[in-house]
Structure 1
Amino acid sequence: MDRDPPLVSPRLGQAALGALLVLMPVLGEAESSFQYQRPDSLPERAADEDAPSSVAATSFAVVTPHPLATDAGRQVLAAGGAAIDAAVAAQLVLTLVEPQSSGIGGGGFLMLYDGEQVRAFDGRVSAPSGVEATLFMDGADEPLAFSVAASSGRAVGVPGLLRMLEVAHDAHGRLAWASLVAPAIALAKQGVPVSHRLNHELAAATELADDGAAAALYFTEDGEPLAAGETLTNPALAAILGRVAEQGSSALHTGAVAEDLVARVQGHPDLPGALSLEDLATYVAKQREPLCVPWRRWRVCGFPPPSSGHLSVMQVLGTLAQLSPLEAPLEEERPTAAWLHRFVEASRLALADRNRYVADPDFVDPPGGDWSTLVADEYLASRAGLIGEQRMGDDRALAGNPGPLDSAWAMQPVQPEHGTSHVSVIDGEGQAVAMTTSIGQAFGARLLADGGTGKAGGYLLNSGLTDFSWRPADDQGTPFANRVAAGKRPRSSMSPTLVFDRASGELVASLGASGGAAIVHYLAKTLVALLDWRLDPATAIGLPHVVTRDGGIRLEADGYPEAVHAALAERGHDVETGELTSGLQVLRRADDGLVGASDPRGVGTASGD
């Protein structure tokens, strides 16, 4: 779509929300609405239960990281809503029930298939106009500690989630916007049970209690995180979303909510940020050309830069495809050491390219003038030639040369990435959404804004600017492609993905993951398991994980036998184990309908009819 998205929603003067939140559309909007019904009971699946089996549906399905978000999306689809309608409703519920990962104070990427074409909507946070390249440097010209910088006003980028959802809904929605906001408002008013995952994340982020408003919302008077099963209400969020229902995204980007947001960023007591009212008012959710790459019998479509996720995933898959096939990549329902070795080596090469070349395309040109040079067969064949039977030395696992560059870029050091949610939807008309959203680190910048409502609660502000390179250049003065600049969008690993059959053009799957930079590993392995090894969604996402970290390997705790550890060590790898919480969500077409599954490491669910 070539037209520029609107800066301000056309939604004006909508009727006030009724007690049951039954909302009629306004002139010029989608022509029908729906009535949300809070489920009488929705038992949470605990993270330590056995992995759920795949869920089958005949017409439509939705999968999210939380059962209340999944149920809201299912109700929208049952009322005749489009895939984007269900995604809007589900994501706004996630603002309430999964605040550690995403919300209206952050941003995201959205892939949409309208039955004919694939669209890519960019709602990534952006750097305020007043920032400088040394945003995260201290007075001694050294980077600030991550824990200090990420929990500050400097970390907060201009949020883009609502603008992105609004633009996509304006173009492809079928139900009235206000009715899609209704589920989140109802749940915020009436309260929701704290999930096991939210309780776990609160216990690990006790510094969140340093923000008085956040402490009052998420912790007891004794400073303990709300226990799993306790009721969480959020009156301020309900009030803010009420304005969003009436005014669209302009409710956050202008007026009292915007003024409160700016005051909290600029008024941070230690490290105030530069975000301004003008930055909020002028934010644009961009529409970009999706990046569709052939792989085996499929066409895999994902998000282009400023996301590095899809490029890296397809580099891993394309590099593996250049190697001679293994006779048995699976053994005892797990990937073998031989396959894991190849996978890790291909991942190291892909991430090296990412750290040198990928950044906001409005500021950085791709190698050879086209991002597809990074996934070209000839280039990936040269990369595959670096992979042998032993771990390649660090002096070989470097960025390649896919094409000429107008500017020289330095290799950016590895930095932390956290805080994402994924939603996948396929509706009854065959339209599909894959959407990954983020607020940065867990609980974002650890700043809660009440929107100037004067009520308890609110929404968390993002720490998305920490995804920029903290240093503007290396020790030799060569700049990093992903350095901070005014108006620039930080590089991300988010990788919402839609898969199509190359021969028929039919939609095959919608999927994505959370997990920061590890998204690349989680999603690449799942695509292989789902499509190449032909495992069902639940089995595919339940396979134990492996990621590369600082040149070493981390295997998921209790995921692999000691023989695999030993075999990898013999190949020269430094192996450790640990928790790898992936947040994968998958929907796949089957012969008789749809099959979906949510990551067994979380509390999410798939549902459909």
Structure 2
Amino acid sequence: MKKLIAFAALLFLLPIPIPALAQGVVSAADPRATAAGQEMLRAGGSATDAAIAMLLALNVVEPQSSGIGGGGFIVHHGGGTGVLDTIDGRETAPAAARPDRFLGTDGKPRPFVEIWPGGYSVGVPGSLRLAERAHARWGKLAWARLFEPAIRLADQGFVVNARLAASLRQVAPVWKDFPAMRALYWKGGRPMAEGDTFRNPALAAILRRIAAEGPEAFYAGDNARALSDAVTNAPRNPVPLTQADLAGYRAKDRPAICGPYRQWTICGMGPPSSGALTVLQVMGMVERFPLATWGRDDARSWQVIGEAMRLAYADRDRYQGDRDFVEVPVAGLIDRAYLKRRSAMISAAKTLGRYDAGSPPGAPARVTATPGEVAGTTHFVAVDDDGDVVSWTNTVESAFGSQLTANGYALNNELTDFSHAPVEDGYLVANRLQPGKRPLSSMAPTIVYDAAGKPVFAVGAAGGRTIIMQVAKALIAHFDWGLSAQESIALGQLFFDKQGLVVEQGTALEAMKAPLEALGQRVSVAKLGLKANAAEKLPDGRWTGAADPRSPGNSLQQ
């Protein structure tokens, strides 16, 4: 008995392992997708597993914005290794694509409304090859497990929310020429409305096949034939996209683009994404100004942000494109001395008025990008217990992409992101359409590191060309103005058009209109199609998520 008592006392003195608190967090543009990511984390999955599950679920519940018929970019930080990786899953132009595809008989670009719906605009989808590559490197759960939430949603159905219903109303007039898409989303002779329950058995079926057989079930066999047929025999703008185009698609590792901002390091996706380079240009030009002192309610802050924005976009539209096809002066565009010269053009007291591209070190002979993106897309973020961080942007471009469908998913219209004229002022355009080429993108999945090299912030957005400025604004709001991730993405947005600056309608930023006009700016007030998601590391080491209040999205802890 004495021995038993002594043994019990010894056990009492031994340290008892206490399970670590779950640190995982997910954020997406729809609560049902966020729940899919949370489910993977709770099942022991990695941030990559959670992100893939969100990608697939978003295909079901947010089909107007993204899915397996599109493409995207991932920025991944390995918590155990500290290594930053980026993968390019951007769509490619099929072999039949030619630089003059979007020109009319007069040799001038045709109106967007004529080239967007139908076969002309469809690129070879990259989403599943991107997911496959990411899962092979950083996934923990079985590939098929990641599909379960999306299959449930497609099989059992989900309630159509206000955002999906609005997109359906928007494209309804076009669908008279697209009976396959109308058959999916119309009910009783009308587009499905908010509150209706939508089921997509065709999508559930192809997701089951991809879950069981891997991405080959998408890029070969029956699905490849169905996708090829949808484009080649499209009711509008039919053009070949072959099974060989699909079979030849590859996602690609790309070098991350990183640059300093005060004591932090901002990292993101390089060409064919213009996101990281343009964000870093904006940040590099505003860095010399005392934004933290001025604050968000001072017109001088928005004045210098607006000036830097237009100078950065001028460079973007001149120099950027797919590096596999054109020379992009990556190092030169974010060269510190170059950005210092560009920043010297900016005054907090008066407007520059003219925003020409500069001459960064290593710039090639004159070219221009002139892309034509529209507001669409989705972004999602995941962090797991191991400290892996994923920032992933995915898109089908316009609402429901090209308006073509195969097996229940929308096919992208990403080729309209190419410049519609291959030659401008006698010079070849960097972002001209060419077979196998990837169109320039504004997608800007981003991870930010502190001075110790630890990730502290992840962000990305949807909304075409506004994506870059949504990310830049969120970074300034968080790191200069001390706002939380949630407050940073919710803050009113500044953008621009051909006439001048645009401030977001219905936000506190409207108050900046008169002060900016007093500095010589032309300012309009308008609604902007914005949608961002983010995550931040709190001072106590925990991660928390953020979702744009402009969307139905949310964030969830593990």
Q: TM-score when scaled to structure 1? A: 0.85
Q: Specify the code of the residue in structure 1 equivalent to 2:243.
A: L
| Aligned match of 1:433 | 390
Secondary structure (helix, strand or coil) at the match of 2:164 reads: helix
Secondary structure (helix, strand or coil) at the match of 1:533 reads: coil
Secondary structure (helix, strand or coil) at the match of 1:516 reads: coil
| Aligned match of 2:38 | 74
Alpha-carbon offset, residue 58 of structure 1: 5.1
CA contact (8 A) 2:503 2:510 kept: no
CA contact (8 A) 2:393 2:443 kept: yes
d(CA) in 2 for partners of 1:606, 1:356: 37
Residue segments in structure 1 that go unaligned for 5+ positions in a row: 1-56, 451-457
Instruction: Return the match for 1:472 from 411, 416, 422.
Output: 422
| Aligned match of 1:266 | 232
d(CA) in 2 for partners of 1:562, 1:232: 38
| Aligned match of 1:214 | 181
Instruction: Return the match for 2:142 from 171, 176, 200.
Output: 176
Q: 1:478 to 1:314 in 2, by over 3 A?
A: same
| Aligned match of 1:605 | 554
| Aligned match of 1:52 | none
Q: Specify the code of the residue in structure 2 equivalent to 1:59.
A: Q
Instruction: Return the match for 1:144 from 110, 125, 128.
Output: 110
Q: Deviations over 1:71-124 (max 9, x none)?
A: 010010011100100011110000010111100000000011112201111100
Q: Specify the code of the residue in structure 2 equivalent to 1:390.
A: K
| Aligned match of 1:387 | 346
d(CA) in 2 for partners of 1:422, 1:313: 16
d(CA) in 1 for partners of 2:439, 2:511: 40
Alpha-carbon offset, residue 141 of structure 1: 0.9
Residue segments in structure 2 that go unaligned for 5+ positions in a row: 1-20
Q: 1:309 to 1:413 in 2, by over 3 A?
A: same
Q: Deviations over 1:236-277 (max 9, x none)?
A: 000010110012111111000000100110102331123111
Q: 1:376 to 1:405 in 2, by over 3 A?
A: closer
Q: Deviations over 1:362-381 (max 9, x none)?
A: 011123xxx12211211111
Q: 1:325 to 1:79 in 2, by over 3 A?
A: closer
Alpha-carbon offset, residue 323 of structure 1: 3.3
Q: Specify the code of the residue in structure 2 equivalent to 1:207.
A: P
Runs of 4+ in 1 over 4 A off after TM superposition: none
Alpha-carbon offset, residue 186 of structure 1: 1.1
**Aligned pair 1:461/2:428, yes or no?**
no
Instruction: Return the match for 1:415 from 355, 363, 372.
Output: 372
Q: Specify the code of the residue in structure 2 equivalent to 1:393.
A: G
d(CA) in 1 for partners of 2:220, 2:106: 37
CA contact (8 A) 1:58 1:594 kept: no
Alpha-carbon offset, residue 298 of structure 1: 1.1
CA contact (8 A) 2:375 2:529 kept: no
- Stretch moving more, 291-300 or 158-167: 291-300
| Structure that is richer in helix per residue | 2
d(CA) in 2 for partners of 1:285, 1:366: 20
Q: 1:232 to 1:208 in 2, by over 3 A?
A: farther
**Aligned pair 1:506/2:454, yes or no?**
yes
Alpha-carbon offset, residue 213 of structure 1: 2.0
**Aligned pair 1:330/2:296, yes or no?**
yes
Alpha-carbon offset, residue 229 of structure 1: 1.7
Q: State the Cα RMSD in Å.
A: 1.5
Q: Specify the code of the residue in structure 2 equivalent to 1:427.
A: D
Q: Specify the code of the residue in structure 2 equivalent to 1:89.
A: A
Rg bigger for which structure?
2
Secondary structure (helix, strand or coil) at the match of 1:597 reads: strand
CA contact (8 A) 2:94 2:124 kept: yes
**Aligned pair 1:366/2:323, yes or no?**
no
Secondary structure (helix, strand or coil) at the match of 1:167 reads: helix
Alpha-carbon offset, residue 417 of structure 1: 2.4
Alpha-carbon offset, residue 563 of structure 1: 4.8
Q: Specify the code of the residue in structure 1 equivalent to 2:188.
A: E
**Aligned pair 1:520/2:468, yes or no?**
yes
Aligned length: 533
Alpha-carbon offset, residue 406 of structure 1: 4.2
Alpha-carbon offset, residue 507 of structure 1: 1.4
CA contact (8 A) 2:94 2:241 kept: yes
**Aligned pair 1:553/2:504, yes or no?**
no
Q: Specify the code of the residue in structure 2 equivalent to 1:432.
A: V
Instruction: Return the match for 2:431 from 463, 482, 501.
Output: 482
Q: 1:414 to 1:366 in 2, by over 3 A?
A: closer
CA contact (8 A) 1:556 1:577 kept: yes
| Aligned match of 2:399 | 442
d(CA) in 2 for partners of 1:584, 1:381: 29
Q: Deviations over 1:514-543 (max 9, x none)?
A: 111001111100011112222112111111
CA contact (8 A) 2:282 2:308 kept: yes
Alpha-carbon offset, residue 561 of structure 1: 6.6
CA contact (8 A) 1:208 1:215 kept: no
Instruction: Return the match for 1:248 from 205, 211, 214.
Output: 214
Alpha-carbon offset, residue 445 of structure 1: 0.2
Q: 1:217 to 1:294 in 2, by over 3 A?
A: same
Secondary structure (helix, strand or coil) at the match of 1:330 reads: coil
Q: Specify the code of the residue in structure 1 equivalent to 2:356.
A: L
| Aligned match of 1:202 | 168
Secondary structure (helix, strand or coil) at the match of 2:508 reads: coil
| Aligned match of 1:294 | 260
Q: Deviations over 1:304-345 (max 9, x none)?
A: 0000011111100110013355742223xxxx3211111111
d(CA) in 1 for partners of 2:132, 2:84: 17
* Identity rate, percent: 40
Alpha-carbon offset, residue 554 of structure 1: 1.4
d(CA) in 2 for partners of 1:378, 1:349: 15
